[in-house]
Structure 1
Amino acid sequence: MALSELLKIVTPPDKPKEVPAKPNWAAVEKKLGLQLPDDYKLFVAKFGSGLLGSFVRVYNPFSKDEYLALQKSVISVCEIYQMLSDTFPYEFYPETPGLLPWGNDDNGNSLFWLTRGARNKWPVVVCSGRDNRYQLFEMGMTAFLARTFTGEVKCKIWPKPFAVTSRRAKFEPY
């Protein structure tokens, strides 16, 4: 699993924030009407809420913060992007296949899964928050994060140079 790639470069907190002792993923998935990728669930369990590499936030369905909570973010982000839908080649959640947000970055860009095929094989799409640029990555969320932070994968929407040593091995819990 790709989470192991990420754990080689980023140390999770000893006690992740906003993660219940027994996360009720079934309730989260029922509310969304779809099952989420396993690497996402493992990431949330290991890291909780926080900022990865001083740049990326992964939404947490157990967060009380409306800007970090997965369900609230899915609704608000999809509403915003649906207004721009004629500039993207994909539909947005709840359409399937569609773009389902899982995080954002400090530059106002959004991170999505493209919900096509098996959930554990959903590719990542990064959409610019300032224009109609997007980039598709044929890999899961944690593989994408690990490989962008090591510089193996380049996201054209993110600042250059992105994969610098100062960003690695940092996770700041909220």
Structure 2
Amino acid sequence: MALGELLKIVTPPDKPKEVPTKPNWAAVEKKLGLQLPDDYKRYVTKFGTGVLGSFLRVYNPFSKREYTSLQKSVVSVCEIHQMRSDTFPYEFYPESPGLLPWGNDDNGNNLFWLTRGARNKWPIVVCSGRDDRSQLFEMGMTAFLARTFTGEVKCKIWPKPFAVKSRRFQFQPN
């Protein structure tokens, strides 16, 4: 279980921010017109809104804030990327398969699912916020996050590795 991998290196908050007692995932998915991966739903329920390792942010569909809301970010991030280049190798949501944003980093890069195949097997694509570079990772979201912080994932878009072996990373609720 990939969330278990992540929990070994990042401690979630005692009280996740912006997570209702009974999250209405059906309403979120109906609004988006697709089902979200199970590991994402477990992540949001466990962590809520915040920043992982002072670097990565996962959008929360229950957040009311523009910068952290999944639904608001899906619209704004897809609009920005669609305007950038006709040579980009992927389509964007709502196209299927397409890139559906689920997070970003402090350098202005975006994290997407490539919505091809079964939702629990959607690969991850990191897209540069400054040019048309992208990198595909054939793993789910929580595996990607865990392996990023253990140093197994090497993202060519990020300036340098920030993973440190045998270190617990902080989650900062916000």
Give the shorter-chain TM-score range: over 0.9
1:35 paired to 2:31: no
Contact 1:85 1:91 in 2 (8 A): no
1:27 partner amino acid: A
Q: Distance in 2 between matches of 1:51 and 1:143?
A: 17
Contact 2:52 2:171 in 1 (8 A): yes
**Match for residue 152 of structure 1?**
152
For residue 165 of structure 1, report the CA deviation from its aligned partner: 5.7
Listed as ranges, the gaps of 5+ residues in structure 2 are none
Q: Distance in 1 between matches of 2:9 and 2:149?
A: 8
Cα deviations across residues 8-61 of structure 1 (Å, max 9, x unaligned)? 100000000000000000000000000000000000000000000100000000
Q: Distance in 2 between matches of 1:46 and 1:147?
A: 18
Q: Distance in 2 between matches of 1:166 and 1:59?
A: 27
The equivalences for 1:99-110 within 5 A come to 99-110=99-110
TM-score calculated relative to the size of structure 1: 0.97
SS in 1 for 2:86: helix
Listed as ranges, the gaps of 5+ residues in structure 1 are none
For residue 84 of structure 1, report the CA deviation from its aligned partner: 1.8
The equivalences for 1:153-172 within 5 A come to 153-164=153-164, 168-172=168-172
Q: Distance in 1 between matches of 2:165 and 2:153?
A: 15
Q: Distance in 1 between matches of 2:12 and 2:52?
A: 10
For residue 85 of structure 1, report the CA deviation from its aligned partner: 4.1
**Match for residue 116 of structure 1?**
116
Cα deviations across residues 86-126 of structure 1 (Å, max 9, x unaligned)? 13111000000000000000000000000000000000000
User: In 2 relative to 1, CA 167–13 (structure 1 residues): closer, same or farther, beyond 3 Å?
Assistant: same
Number of equivalent positions: 174
For residue 132 of structure 1, report the CA deviation from its aligned partner: 1.0
1:94 paired to 2:89: no
**Match for residue 131 of structure 2?**
131
* Identity rate, percent: 86
**Match for residue 67 of structure 2?**
67
Deviates further, 16-25 or 149-158: 149-158
Contact 1:101 1:110 in 2 (8 A): yes
